[in-house]
Structure 1
Amino acid sequence: MTGAGRDVVITGLGTVSAFGRGADALRQGLAAGRAAFAPVDRFATDRYRTGVAAALPGSPDLDEELRRVVAEACDQAGLGPGERARVPLLLARHADPAVARRPLAAQGKTAVSDTAAELARACGLRGPARTYTNACVAAGTALAEAAVWIRGGREDRVVVSAGYLVDEDNFALFSAGRALAPDGVLRSFSARRRGLLLGDGVGAVVLESSAAAAARGARPLAVLSGWGLAGDAHHVCQPHPEGLGMARAIGAALAKAGLAPQDIGYVNAHGTGTPHNDAAETAALRRALGDAADTTPVSSTKSLHGHALEASGMLELAVTVLALRHGELPVNAGHLGPDPDCSLDLVLGEPRRAAPRHALSLNAAFGGANTALVVSTP
Structure 2
Amino acid sequence: MASALGRGTEAQLAGTLAGVAAFAPVTRFDVAGHRVRVAATLPDAGSLTDELATAIDEACGSAGLSGAHRAACPLVLAVHAFPNAPRVSADRWRTATELAELLAIRVGLGPVARVYTSACVSASTALADAAALISSGRADRIVVAGGYLVEPDQFALFDAGRALATDGAVRPFSTGRTGLLLGDAVAAVVLESATGGRRRTGSPLARLTGWGRAGDAFHAVQPHPQGQGLAKAIGAALRRARIGPGALGYINAHGTGTPFSDAAEAAGLRQALGPAAAHVPLSSTKATHGHTLEASGLIELGITVLAMRAGKLPVNAGFLAADEACPLNVVHAGPRSVNSEWALSVNAAFGGACTALVVRVT
Q: State the partner residue of 1:11.
A: none
State the alpha-carbon separation in 1 of the partners of residues 46 and 180 from structure 2: 22
In 1, are the aligned partners of 2:164 and 2:180 still within 8 Å (CA)?
A: yes
Q: State the partner residue of 2:19.
A: 33
Q: State the partner residue of 1:306.
A: 290
1:54-69 aligned within 5 A: 54-69=40-55
State the alpha-carbon separation in 2 of the partners of residues 371 and 326 from structure 1: 25
1:341 aligns with 2:325: yes
Q: CA 1:96/1:214 → structure 2, altered by over 3 Å: closer, same or farther? A: same
SS in 1 for 2:154: helix
2:33 to 32, 47, 53: 47
In 2, are the aligned partners of 1:35 and 1:305 still within 8 Å (CA)?
A: yes
State the alpha-carbon separation in 1 of the partners of residues 126 and 98 from structure 2: 17
How many residue pairs get matched?
357
1:281 to 262, 265, 269: 265
Amino acid at match of 2:21: A
Q: State the partner residue of 2:90.
A: none
In 2, are the aligned partners of 1:41 and 1:58 still within 8 Å (CA)?
A: no
1:254 to 235, 238, 261: 238
Q: How big is each residue's C-alpha offset from its partner over 1:219-277, in whole Å with a ceiling of 9 and x where there is no partner?
A: 11000000000000000000000000000000000001001010111000000000111
Q: State the partner residue of 1:360.
A: 344
Q: How big is each residue's C-alpha offset from its partner over 1:321-346, in whole Å with a ceiling of 9 and x where there is no partner?
A: 11111011000111111111011000
1:99 aligns with 2:88: no
Aligned-pair distance for 1:95?
2.9
Q: State the partner residue of 1:153.
A: 137
Q: How big is each residue's C-alpha offset from its partner over 1:257-304, in whole Å with a ceiling of 9 and x where there is no partner?
A: 001010111000000000111001000110000011111000000001
Q: How big is each residue's C-alpha offset from its partner over 1:74-130, in whole Å with a ceiling of 9 and x where there is no partner?
A: 0111001011000000000013354369xxxxxxx9432110011111110011342
State the alpha-carbon separation in 2 of the partners of residues 292 and 26 from structure 1: 28
1:85 to 58, 64, 71: 71
1:1-378 aligned within 5 A: 15-96=1-82, 98-99=84-85, 110-378=94-362
Aligned-pair distance for 1:356?
2.1
Identity of aligned residues (%): 56
State the alpha-carbon separation in 2 of the partners of residues 322 and 260 from structure 1: 23
In 2, are the aligned partners of 1:42 and 1:58 still within 8 Å (CA)?
A: no
Aligned-pair distance for 1:215?
1.2
In 2, are the aligned partners of 1:233 and 1:369 still within 8 Å (CA)?
A: yes
Amino acid at match of 2:243: L
In 2, are the aligned partners of 1:116 and 1:129 still within 8 Å (CA)?
A: no
State the alpha-carbon separation in 1 of the partners of residues 215 and 329 from structure 2: 26
Aligned-pair distance for 1:30?
1.6
Structure 1: stretches of 5+ with no match in the other structure: 1-14, 102-108
Greater Cα offset, 198-207 or 19-28: 19-28
Structure 2: stretches of 5+ with no match in the other structure: 88-92
Amino acid at match of 2:42: L
Q: CA 1:97/1:203 → structure 2, altered by over 3 Å: closer, same or farther? A: closer
SS in 2 for 1:30: helix
- Detail structure 1 runs of 4+ shifted over 4 Å in the superposition: none
- RMSD value over aligned CA atoms? 1.3
SS in 2 for 1:221: coil
Q: How big is each residue's C-alpha offset from its partner over 1:33-82, in whole Å with a ceiling of 9 and x where there is no partner?
A: 21111111101222112111111115521110100110111011100101
State the alpha-carbon separation in 1 of the partners of residues 197 and 299 from structure 2: 23
State the alpha-carbon separation in 2 of the partners of residues 178 and 271 from structure 1: 17
State the alpha-carbon separation in 2 of the partners of residues 100 and 324 from structure 1: 39
Amino acid at match of 1:166: V
State the alpha-carbon separation in 2 of the partners of residues 67 and 170 from structure 1: 23
Amino acid at match of 1:84: R
SS in 2 for 1:340: coil
In 2, are the aligned partners of 1:324 and 1:355 still within 8 Å (CA)?
A: no
SS in 2 for 1:28: helix
SS in 1 for 2:58: helix
Q: How big is each residue's C-alpha offset from its partner over 1:347-373, in whole Å with a ceiling of 9 and x where there is no partner?
A: 012111224210000000000000000
SS in 2 for 1:130: strand
State the alpha-carbon separation in 2 of the partners of residues 97 and 88 from structure 1: 21
Greater Cα offset, 34-43 or 366-375: 34-43
State the alpha-carbon separation in 2 of the partners of residues 96 and 63 from structure 1: 13
SS in 2 for 1:341: coil
Q: CA 1:90/1:372 → structure 2, altered by over 3 Å: closer, same or farther? A: same
